[in-house]
């Protein structure tokens, strides 16, 4: 079993839809959880960073962490064509390198 | 502007040749990382360094080498021992406990 599982998609939604992206993990010592967005042929950029269980909101983006279920989610409201990208979840223990999921490719169709 | 710079953007390697990928940051970050990205594989850790003159192997270090002589610089050498080097290479840096800042990547192709 891989440490971090993420459905690679592709996921295609109409503009304005709510998008839900998810990752599961097996290492109960993970305590830092992040979501990155990567456009084609570019480096990933940090979208959301959460430390504890619960929700964190930033504009149209909401990150959710459920440590008891070892499950994290990213919700995108009012999705736009500019949101079309690959979304990577990443997580780590204290002071260890991030472990990444394989990424989910999202297409938002105008 | 602060950031992390990778060069070159594209690199071609002949069989049996060593090549070095450059990574420079002016963010005053202590930690630096090298990841490899293949289609459908996500990001896999090659090497990382949390302090100058010290570095640790990641999950796929075989065929690669690094150095960390300066805080700002973390070059990666892809040696001839790396049998399948064609990939997108990403360098990142961070402060302890913070998210990573990534460079724009180097695409390496074996010819």
Q: In this structure, are residues A50 and A65 in contact, taking their beta carbons and an 8 Å threshold?
A: yes
Spell out which residues of chain B touch residue A99, defining contact as CB-CB under 8 Å: 45
Q: Output the pLDDT for position A95.
A: 83
B78 falls in which pLDDT band (50, 70, 90)? Answer: very high
Which comes out higher in pLDDT, residue B106 or A51?
B106
Beta-carbon neighbour count of residue A109 at 10 Å? 11
Interchain contact, A45 vs B102, CB within 8 Å:
yes
Q: Is the predicted pLDDT of residue B63 greater than 80, yes or no?
A: yes
B41 and A CB contact within 8 Å: yes
B1 falls in which pLDDT band (50, 70, 90)? Answer: low
Beta-carbon neighbour count of residue A82 at 10 Å? 8
Q: Output the pLDDT for position B22.
A: 98
Counting residues of chain A whose pLDDT is more than 90, the rounded percentage is: 86
The Cα of A94 is separated from the nearest Cα of chain B by a number of Å equal to 7
Q: What angle do CA A56, A59, A64 make, to 5 degrees?
A: 25
A53 falls in which pLDDT band (50, 70, 90)? Answer: confident
Q: In this structure, are residues A36 and A43 in contact, taking their beta carbons and an 8 Å threshold?
A: no
Q: What is the mean pLDDT of residues A23-34?
A: 94
Q: What is the mean pLDDT of residues B81-102?
A: 92
Counting residues of chain A whose pLDDT is more than 70, the rounded percentage is: 98
């Amino acid at each position: 079993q891989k440490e971090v599982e993420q459905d690679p998609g592709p996921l295609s939604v109409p503009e304005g839809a709510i998008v839900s992206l998810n990752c599961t993990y097996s290492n109960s010592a993970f305590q830092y959880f992040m979501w990155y967005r990567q456009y084609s042929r570019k480096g990933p950029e940090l979208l959301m960073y959460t430390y504890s269980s619960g929700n964190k909101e930033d504009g149209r983006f909401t990150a959710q962490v459920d440590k008891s279920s070892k499950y994290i989610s990213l919700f995108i409201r009012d999705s736009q064509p500019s949101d079309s990208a690959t979304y990577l979840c990443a997580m780590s223990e204290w002071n260890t390198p991030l472990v990444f999921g394989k990424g989910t490719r999202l297409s938002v169709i105008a | 502007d602060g950031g992390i710079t990778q060069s070159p953007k594209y690199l071609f390697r002949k069989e049996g040749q060593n090549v070095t990928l450059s990574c420079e940051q002016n963010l005053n970050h202590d930690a630096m990382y090298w990841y490899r990205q293949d289609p459908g594989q996500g990001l896999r850790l090659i090497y990382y360094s949390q302090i100058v003159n010290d570095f640790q192997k990641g999950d796929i270090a075989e065929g690669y080498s690094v150095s960390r002589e300066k805080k700002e610089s973390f070059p990666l050498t892809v040696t001839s021992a790396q049998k399948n080097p064609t990939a997108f290479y990403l360098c990142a840096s961070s402060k302890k406990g913070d998210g990573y800042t990534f460079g724009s990547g180097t695409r390496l192709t074996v010819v």
